[in-house]
Amino acid sequence: MDTVDIRPFDAVRDTASVLRLWDAALGGRYPIHPVTLLQRTGGNSNYRPGDGVVAMVGRRLLGFGLAERVRAAAGPGEPTGYIAALMVAPEARRQGLGRALLGALEAHLRSAGCSRAALGRGPARFWTGVPEDLPEAMAFFQQHGYAAGSRVCDLVVPLRNYAASMRYQDRLKAVGAEVVSASPAGLPALLDFEYREFAGWASSVLRMAASGDLANVLVVRTPRDLIGSILTYPPDTGWRYSNQVWDRLIGGRLGGYGAVGIAKARRGEGLGAAMCEAAAAYVEAKGADACFIDWTAIPDFYRRVGAEVWRWHTMAEKGL
């Protein structure tokens, strides 16, 4: 092989070639919508030069890698960075390009102050972890020092007349609660709830509010308190959230929900299941044919509300 040049990804110059590469390397298993790639690279306010890299051999783009890190407005941000994607053209594999791309991403994360790198799982992720139907990917990362951890799964809820089959809504009535869309007037109370009960999800609520998607945050409300929240993703959202990445693979109009949280003092009353049912009915009413739930280690809970396991993933990390 001729000399390999690993250089930063340039969204204007490289996007078309990366999309062709993705189709050749992964399109048969994990096809993506072009906008999904754009929103995680040049169209992402969190993206910085060097987060993406390409492998060039002459004028041919034969590899692509993408890292992600959570940047704080003041300070270094999170110590863990994420390897969001790594791929090499089929005809150029086993020639060191994958190793070179991974090394460049790890060096970039290390220079930005990250002490660990995790596979997948970032806020603007494609995959939750390493998909178990890509065993060659897990073998590659283990060869380069990544230790496999827990298994998690993504699920799909078919939405054929889902609202008519809801079973848990009587739990809401029993406690005088209702599920409604969040509103600008209620945003302070919602953020107080998130910071108090689920601090790790507060930034996701803020992002949805800033993206014009606040109404897609559903809350469980009693006459006195806000006691739960869930983020929903109808098919027509402007930002393609992690629950909508694989619409081309699943087919139809894909929606989703996530960040399912009931206040600690109110758990065990069936309200979480009722909230999930309301969320699935909400995205169905917005035109979704299926509802995607990503990143959970408790599939049995979601099976109770009509979900089926779609993919298992292995989480993995490496110290930098």
* CA pair distance 210, 217, nearest whole angstrom: 12
Task: Name the nearest CA neighbour of 289 among 157, 159, 165, 166.
Answer: 159
Q: In this predicted structure, what is the pLDDT of residue 75?
A: 52
Tokens representing 108?
A: 């970039």
CB 163 within 8 A of CB 194: no
CB 109 within 8 A of CB 69: yes
Domain 4-126, CATH 3.40.630.30 — does that match?
yes
Q: In this predicted structure, what is the pLDDT of residue 72?
A: 61
Q: In this predicted structure, what is the pLDDT of residue 161?
A: 86
CATH homologous superfamily, domain 155-313? Gcn5-related N-acetyltransferase (GNAT) (3.40.630.30)
Q: In this predicted structure, what is the pLDDT of residue 78?
A: 76
Q: In this predicted structure, what is the pLDDT of residue 166?
A: 85
* CA pair distance 187, 210, nearest whole angstrom: 11
Q: In this predicted structure, what is the pLDDT of residue 231?
A: 97
Q: In this predicted structure, what is the pLDDT of residue 207?
A: 86
* CA pair distance 22, 248, nearest whole angstrom: 14
* CA pair distance 283, 237, nearest whole angstrom: 11
* CA pair distance 117, 31, nearest whole angstrom: 25
- Walking along the chain (320 residues) 10 residues at a time, the average pLDDT comes out as 90 96 96 95 86 96 95 66 97 95 97 95 94 96 97 96 85 94 96 94 90 95 95 93 95 96 95 96 96 97 96 97
CB 28 within 8 A of CB 123: no
Extents of the domains making up the chain: 4-126, 155-313
Phi, psi of 290 (to 5 degrees): -150, 155
* CA pair distance 41, 37, nearest whole angstrom: 6
- DSSP collapsed to 3 states, the chain: CCCEEEEECCHHHHHHHHHHHHHHHCCCCCCCCHHHHHHCCCCCCCCCCCCEEEEEECCEEEEEEEEEECCCCCCCCCCEEEEEEEEECHHHCCCCHHHHHHHHHHHHHHHCCCCEEEECCCCCCCCCCEECCCHHHHHHHHHCCCEEEEEEEEEEEECCCHHHHCCCHHHHHHCCCEEEECCHHHHHHHHHHHHHHCHHHHHHHHHHHHCCCHHHEEEEECCCCEEEEEEEECCCCCCCCHHHCCHHHHCCCEEEEEEEEECHHHCCCCHHHHHHHHHHHHHHHCCCCEEEEEEECCHHHHHCCCCEEEEEEEEEEEEC
Tokens representing 298?
A: 């408790």
Q: In this predicted structure, what is the pLDDT of residue 215?
A: 97
Phi, psi of 180 (to 5 degrees): -135, 165
Q: In this predicted structure, what is the pLDDT of residue 126?
A: 97
Same fold, 4-126 and 155-313: yes
